[in-house]
Structure 1
Amino acid sequence: MKRLIESFWQRYNELKSAVIRNDAPKVAALDKELEKLLDSIIGRKNASSSEILEQFRFAIDLLNEEAEDIGCVQRNSEVLRRLVDRYIGAGLPRDGGTGTEEDAPWSPYVILDEDRLDDLDDRVVVVSPGYRINYTNSANAASLQSDRSDIIGKHIAELVGIHRFQQIFRHKLDACFKGEAEKYTYAEDELGHTVVKSFEMSPCYSPSYKLVGAIVVVKELEDRRSRDVA
């Protein structure tokens, strides 16, 4: 990915020089080459976490570079929108998902969009690097029978338990703060019933691509052990 981006900017600078020289054949050739490089950079879907971040940075750099050209701005905005739709769409739970480990329906990067998160049926919280909750959606507040104002500011250990936080959650959240996606599932007894809870954790960024914390999607799953015994 890095070599592709470096090659793009090298050819891009060559194109600007060709435009200044009014070298039409060179401009046409470089324009085609740049389009192929752009497709290769943005079109790569099986990217690693670091490559995804490079894709976003590249798209923003390109948008800034051509900010005075309305036609280019429209094209580059579409490029950025493609990335957002691909990775944020994957970063939120998919309709019809079973919630199993095999689904892995989330991206390593999520942009904080409170309006969209609030429309989800799944419980969602955003945990700051200080391990305190700085956002909760309506579904999570309703599940806890609390107002949002009562949840925001609490330490995540108050929701998952201090022992579970120290043994598991702290390490997984720390990995999210470093750019990794994590998942943790456990079962607990609630009023005589076994409840299996799944926590999908991803790094969460502001619209300006600054780390906000970790977004945690909470799901309650079917207890397979009970089904197997039956």
Structure 2
Amino acid sequence: MKALIDLFWQRYSELKGAVDRNDAPKIAILDRELDALLESITSRKTKTTSEVLEQFRFAIDLLNEEAEDTGCVQRNSELLRRLVDRYIGAGLPYDGVTPDGEAATWSPYVILDEDRLDDLDERVFVVSPGYRINYTNAINALCYEAKTNDLVGRHIAEFIGIHHFQQALREKLDACFKGQAAKYTYAEDIDGHTVVRSYEMSPCYSPSYKLVGAIIIVKELADRRHRAVA
């Protein structure tokens, strides 16, 4: 996949040069080659998370590159929509690799659908690039003895803690805002019991494919250290 994408951008650069030179024969050749490469990149149904990410990033990069051409925007939006329908609609394939080497359990890209998120049995935040909460589901709000609207607009550090935010979460969220999945896990002592919390982060897009922030799935995990000692 990476080789195909690299070749596409190489030929794309050559096409721009041919256009600048007004080299019609070269333009025609490169146009055909680029169409074939585009089809090869976007039509392949890959089986690994890394290649899915490469396909999405390629489609988004192409959409941004040709943002001033209405015809290209329509075509590239359709390409991105096809990828969303293929992977997110049917469930993304996972290869078991995450940023910390553990089993993958979350999608690298998520389209914001509040109705769907409301139905999840897991705790969910959606955090904007300004680190403020712009959505949470009822299960998560209940953990703070609050209503969902009480959490919206507040800084995520209020809920994870300033220390955790400054030490790790902010950096991981910044990476997420750039299109990378991330994960942060920590343990803390609560009333004499060790609680392990995991924050699984994915880039979150609006239905029109604009980045709205990061979706965070909050989980409480078994304390492996305690289990190992036992």
What TM-score do the two structures reach when normalised by structure 2?
Answer: 0.69
**Which residue matches 2:92?**
90
Does 2:39 align with 1:38?
yes
Structure 1 pair 54–37 and aligned structure 2 pair: CA distance change class (3 A): closer
How far 1:107 sits from its partner (Å)? Answer: 3.1
- State the alpha-carbon separation in 1 of the partners of residues 36 and 191 from structure 2: 60
**Which residue matches 2:57?**
53
Q: Is the 8 A contact 2:123 2:140 kept in 1?
A: yes
5 Å matches for 1:36-185? Answer: 38=39, 40-45=41-46, 46-47=50-51, 49-55=53-59, 64-65=74-75, 80-81=81-82, 83-87=84-88, 89-90=91-92, 102-185=102-185
- Runs of 5+ in structure 1 lacking a partner? 9-29, 68-75, 92-99
> What is the alpha-carbon root mean square deviation over aligned residues?
3.5
Q: Is the 8 A contact 1:42 1:55 kept in 2?
A: no
- What does the per-residue CA deviation read over 1:32-86, in whole Å, with 9 as the maximum and x for residues that have no partner? xx78963542315242645313246779x7893599xxxxxxxx69x83553341
- Runs of 5+ in structure 2 lacking a partner? 13-31, 64-70, 94-99
- State the alpha-carbon separation in 1 of the partners of residues 116 and 143 from structure 2: 18
- State the alpha-carbon separation in 2 of the partners of residues 225 and 37 from structure 1: 48
Higher mean C-alpha deviation, range 176-185 or range 82-91:
82-91
**1:138 is aligned with what amino acid?**
A
How far 1:177 sits from its partner (Å)? Answer: 1.2
Q: Is the 8 A contact 2:62 2:76 kept in 1?
A: no
Q: Is the 8 A contact 1:42 1:83 kept in 2?
A: no
What is the aligned-residue identity percentage? 52
- State the alpha-carbon separation in 2 of the partners of residues 184 and 65 from structure 1: 37
Equivalenced residue count is 192
- What does the per-residue CA deviation read over 1:117-143, in whole Å, with 9 as the maximum and x for residues that have no partner? 111111110111111100001221122
Structure with the greater alpha carbon radius of gyration:
1
**Which residue matches 1:25?**
none
Q: Is the 8 A contact 1:197 1:219 kept in 2?
A: yes
Q: Is the 8 A contact 1:124 1:215 kept in 2?
A: yes
Q: Is the 8 A contact 2:134 2:153 kept in 1?
A: yes
- State the alpha-carbon separation in 2 of the partners of residues 127 and 144 from structure 1: 17
Higher mean C-alpha deviation, range 185-194 or range 216-225:
185-194
Q: Is the 8 A contact 2:42 2:55 kept in 1?
A: no
Q: Is the 8 A contact 1:5 1:41 kept in 2?
A: no
- State the alpha-carbon separation in 2 of the partners of residues 126 and 143 from structure 1: 16
Structure 1 pair 38–5 and aligned structure 2 pair: CA distance change class (3 A): farther
- State the alpha-carbon separation in 2 of the partners of residues 220 and 176 from structure 1: 21
Structure 1 pair 201–66 and aligned structure 2 pair: CA distance change class (3 A): closer
Structure 1 pair 228–154 and aligned structure 2 pair: CA distance change class (3 A): same
* 3-state secondary structure, aligned to 1:90: coil
